[in-house]
Amino acid sequence: MKAEFTVFEDADGYWFVPRSEENAAIADPSSYRVSVHSTKIAACRDALLQAIDTGANELHLHGFGSTTSIKREAASSGVKPFIYWPSITTRIAPFVRAKKS
């Protein structure tokens, strides 16, 4: 079984939805932005936890916020990771996040 999510970035931070809801989330982000994380890795970790909770053996992460560092954590949890190229369409707001000092 696989778990597929799309990770978004906007002014509030990083959040994700099931891949099947990606287009609807792009059209109306406020309706789909449930749990917002301050970092990409935190959003990816939350997606990994949801995949584990549903019994998935594969984690597919799409979107702007997906990070390749989740590969190691997923593999150590017994979940095979699939990380796809970033997509600018999942960067909701036209802004540049400030780097933390």
What does the pLDDT read at residue 18?
A: 97
- Nearest-angstrom CA–CA distance, 3 and 12: 24
Q: What is the pLDDT of residues 18-66, one digit of tens each?
A: 999 999 999 999 999 989 999 999 999 999 999 999 999 999 999 886 7
Q: In this structure, are residues 40 and 60 in contact, taking their beta carbons and an 8 Å threshold?
A: no
More confident residue, 101 or 64: 64
Of 48, 50, 55, give the one whose Cα is nearest residue 1. Answer: 55
Q: Report residue 96's pLDDT band, with 50, 70 and 90 as the boundaries.
A: low
